[in-house]
Structures are given as structure tokens and as C-alpha cells.
Amino acid sequence: MFLYLLIFMAYFGCRRIPRSQRIKFQLVNVMFTALVLGPQLYVLTRPESSRYCKQPLLNNLSASIVLSCIAVGFSVVFTLLEPVPLSVWRCYYMFGLLSFGHALGTVIITSTAAPCAKTTPELYYISLVLTVASVVSTVFLVVKCGLWLINRLDEDNAQEAAPP
């Protein structure tokens, strides 16, 4: 869910900036991309990451890198297109479901991989960081969706209560 939240923030952050200054935002977007992908690629290339670990942390990291690359593509498309086509939005929501599934898998794998901290420390700690980021972003999105639903229901109730 962390990657889904990054795309969400890129889209809504970009819409608050005038079109003439969005190139600066694109540069900030590239920096966030480097901050997200850089550590993952670094850990993937470390020789210690290929050591044996009972849990599939390396496979999970590979999936996270693939999802990160997809998220980079979405964030670029969302900041360049105005308006964003409905088909792209649908793909983004499907990516959100995939991201949620990956986050859930990351939490489960990392919670049972404490012994891997000795054999593959970098891999374990990057998995731990991804787990914390996923949990925090999931909580944020659940609260945001809950507030959106409450607001939507209040608007519907206000329209029903209004005299014709």
C-alpha cells in the first residue's frame, strides 16, 4: 500500500501546483523514485542477500522492485496527463489491490522471518522497513476512505432532507 499511497500523493500534490511549475514537481518525483528504488536495488545486489533464509524475503523484495517500477510509471502518467483517462484510473485501482496483497504478504513473511536477521540482515531490515511503511500507509488510506465515506453519506443525507 506504500506504493499506492506514493502515487496518490504524487497525483494530488501535482494538482495543487500551477501547470507552469510542474516540471519542478517532476524533479521531486524523480528524487522520491530514487529514494524508493535505490535501497531496494542496493539490497538486491548485495552478496549477503543470496544466502539461505527460510522465508522468501528475496522473492518478496523482487516483487517489491517490480511494483515500485510500476508505481513510478503511474506517478509519471498521473502528473503528466490532465485529465487522466478512466482506463488509467481503473488500472491504478487494480494496482492498489495488487499492492494491498503484496503488503499483506510482506507483513506475514516478515513477521515470521526473525531468524533471517542473522543470515541476511540487509534483506531482513529492508523487509521490515517495507512492512512498517505498508502498515502506516494502509492505516492512512483506511482512515482517508472512512472520512470520504462519512462525507459522502452526509452529502446524500443532506440532499434527501432538503425540501423539493
Per-residue pLDDT of the chain (164 residues; tens, 9 = 90+): 889 998 988 888 888 888 888 888 888 888 888 888 999 999 989 888 777 888 899 999 999 999 999 999 999 898 888 888 999 999 999 999 999 999 999 999 999 998 888 888 899 999 999 999 999 999 999 999 999 899 888 887 777 766 66
Reference 33, options 80, 62, 84, 67; nearest CA is 67
* Continuous H helices in the chain: 2-14, 22-45, 57-80, 86-111, 116-119, 121-161
The C-alpha atoms of residue 7 and residue 13 are separated, in whole angstroms, by 10
Domain limits of the chain? Answer: 2-134
CA 88 to chain centroid: 16
The confidence score (pLDDT) of residue 127 equals 93
Largest CA distance in the chain: 71
| pLDDT score for 65 | 95
- Closest by CA to 99, choosing from 76, 130, 143, is 130
C-beta separation of 75 from 6 below 8 A: yes
